[in-house]
């Protein structure tokens, strides 16, 4: 848990506060994204938690490993920082140190022995899906995305309960950023850190945050809520403008394919005969059907036209389906995939490639209609 109480920062030589009377609480194990226009004090807010910047007024508490709320302003900043993971946009890996030494920075400060540091570093590389060979490489030998993963891994090295991340994926190209975001969200499911995540990108804030704190240009908190609430019930005009006119579309980010898909789709077994298949398609009134094997793994699809007048087993007439969607994908990404392929219905598969359902654009629209109507109901 991270708790801010009436935190204010006035930089010397200025009269207007950079951060103005900020109070909010990040529950344990959640990601809170702080977002706002540039100069809104979001980075200042974050840096006050590990006292890289000293607040002018207010109190900040952090829940430590022993389950005690600690007033960070009463702690030795050096000790405090060693117990809070810290990731910045520019990563700041030490160029003269190997990846192992980089990841071992905080453990070394905490006087772990070398065997423990090494095994922890290997564990972290496993988490990041990176090979152990990287341990003895130098940062310049890695790509930008790999360096950023190491930056995150380094911050988690001593397994701190709280992490601060300042635009951690901001300097990465869009494709890799998306990948890193997804990887990190998956990781967070396991590690359940309490995270303060600064970003200037509202889409990233919506995607990464369990809670979003939106600050205005004067460093005041405009709304602190879950992404769904912020999108469906913006507190005021500022928030409405900030999240953008396409906020309905953005809500698609928050819904997973799993929630809207047809969980009992019409499927054919690859071991079925053509005759059986045609009969089943007639019954359901379908012209196309997806074909799965005995493990429900997607084989492809067949069309009535291809089967008409044929005999034997349907796997002979199966066309490979190029696209399927992972069950965890959000609707926005799913919709974009759907718009790109020319079949109306796409299979949704789990992480073992088994078909769990099908989805089409009509289902997405239906989901949107629902959020809309619920919004309207609340307004009335």
Site pattern 160..179 for another protein (x: CB under 8 A): ----x---------------
Among 19, 31, 61, 86, binds another protein (CB under 8 A): 86
Among 9, 42, 82, 120, binds another protein (CB under 8 A): 82
Among 80, 99, 349, 359, binds another protein (CB under 8 A): 80
57-63 and 162-166 beta bridge pairing:
unpaired
Among 95, 131, 174, 285, binds another protein (CB under 8 A): 95
Residue 80: CB minimum distance to another protein, A: 7
3-state secondary structure the chain: CEEEEEEEECCCCCCCCCEEEEEEEECCCCEEEEECCCCCCHHHHHHHHCCCCCCCEEEEEEECCCCCEEEHHHCCHHHHHHCEEEEECCCCCCCCCCHHHHHCHHHHHCCCCHHHHHHHHHHHHHHCCCCHHHHHCCHHHCCHHHHHHHHHHHHCCCCCCEEEEECCCCCCCHHHHHHHHHHHHHHHHHHCCEEEEEECCHHHHHHHCCEEEEECCCCCEEEEECHHHHHHCCCCHHHHHHHCCCHHHHHHHHCEHHHHCECCCCEEECCCEHHHHHHHHHHHCCCEEEEECCCCEEEEEEEHHHHCCCCCEHHHHCECCCCEEECCCEHHHHHHHHHHCCCCEEEEECCCCEEEEEEEHHHHHHHHHHHHHHHHHHHC
Residue 104: CB minimum distance to another protein, A: 11
Among 2, 32, 63, 93, binds another protein (CB under 8 A): 93
Among 27, 71, 79, 114, binds another protein (CB under 8 A): 79
Residue 78 touches another protein, criterion: CB under 8 A: yes
Dist. CA 313–CA 307, nearest whole Å:
10
Which span sits near another protein by CB under 8 A: 11-19, 29-37, 77-85, 262-270? 77-85
Site pattern 100..129 for another protein (x: CB under 8 A): -----xx--x--------------------
Nearer to another protein, 50 or 345 (CB): 50
Q: Which residues pair with 59 in a beta bridge?
A: 5
- Total number of residues binding another protein (CB under 8 A)? 26
Residue 3 touches another protein, criterion: CB under 8 A: no
Nearer to another protein, 12 or 95 (CB): 95
Residue 140 touches another protein, criterion: CB under 8 A: yes
155: closest CA among 82, 65, 85, 84? 85
What is the number of alpha carbons within 13 Å of residue 327 lying toward its C-beta? 13
Nearer to another protein, 105 or 330 (CB): 105
Give Cα separations from 120 to 112, 305, 352 (angstroms).
10, 58, 29
Residue 131 touches another protein, criterion: CB under 8 A: no
Window 11 to 70, contacts with another protein (CB under 8 A) = 50, 52
Dist. CA 67–CA 73, nearest whole Å:
18
Residue 198 touches another protein, criterion: CB under 8 A: no
Which span sits near another protein by CB under 8 A: 149-157, 178-186, 229-237, 319-327? 149-157
Nearer to another protein, 94 or 370 (CB): 94
Residue 372: CB minimum distance to another protein, A: 43
Residue 252 touches another protein, criterion: CB under 8 A: no
Residue 88: CB minimum distance to another protein, A: 6
Nearer to another protein, 154 or 356 (CB): 154
Nearer to another protein, 109 or 341 (CB): 109
* Binding residues for another protein (CB under 8 A): 50, 52, 77-83, 86, 88, 90-96, 105-106, 109, 140, 151, 154-155, 164
């Amino acid at each position: 848990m991270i708790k801010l109480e009436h935190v204010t920062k006035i930089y010397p030589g200025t009269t207007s506060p950079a951060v103005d009377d900020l109070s909010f609480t990040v529950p344990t194990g959640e990601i809170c994204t702080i977002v706002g226009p540039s100069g809104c004090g979001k980075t200042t807010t974050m840096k006050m938690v590990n006292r890289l910047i000293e607040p002018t007024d207010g109190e900040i508490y952090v829940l430590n490993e022993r389950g005690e709320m600690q007033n960070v302003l009463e702690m030795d900043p050096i000790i405090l920082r060693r117990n809070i993971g810290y990731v910045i946009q520019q990563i700041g890996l030490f160029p003269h140190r190997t990846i192992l030494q980089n990841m071992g920075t905080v453990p070394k400060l905490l006087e772990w022995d070398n065997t423990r540091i090494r095994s922890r570093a290997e564990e972290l590389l496993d988490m990041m899906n990176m090979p152990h060979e990287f341990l003895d490489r130098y940062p310049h030998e890695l790509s930008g995305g790999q360096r950023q993963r190491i930056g995150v891994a380094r911050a988690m090295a001593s397994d701190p309960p709280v992490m601060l991340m300042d635009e951690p994926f901001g300097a990465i190209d869009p494709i890799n950023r998306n990948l890193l975001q997804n990887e990190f969200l998956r990781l967070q499911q396991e590690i359940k850190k309490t995270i303060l995540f600064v970003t200037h990108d509202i889409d990233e804030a919506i995607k990464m945050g369990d809670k979003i704190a939106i600050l205005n240009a004067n460093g005041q908190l405009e709304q602190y809520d879950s992404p769904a609430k912020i999108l469906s019930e913006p507190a005021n005009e500022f928030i409405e403008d900030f999240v953008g006119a396409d906020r309905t579309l953005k809500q698609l980010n928050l819904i997973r394919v799993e929630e809207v898909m047809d969980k009992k789709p019409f499927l054919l077994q690859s071991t079925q005969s053509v005759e059986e298949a045609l009969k089943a398609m007639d019954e359901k009134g379908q012209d196309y059907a997806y074909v799965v094997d005995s493990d429900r793994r997607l084989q492809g699809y067949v069309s009535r036209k291809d089967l008409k007048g044929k005999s034997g087993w349907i796997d002979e007439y199966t066309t490979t389906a190029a696209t399927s969607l992972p069950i965890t994908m959000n609707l926005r990404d799913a919709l974009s995939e759907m718009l790109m392929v020319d079949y109306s219905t796409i299979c949704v598969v789990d992480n073992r490639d088994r078909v769990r359902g099908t989805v089409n654009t009509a289902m997405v629209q239906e989901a949107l209609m629902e959020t809309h109507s619920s919004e309207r109901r609340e307004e009335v």
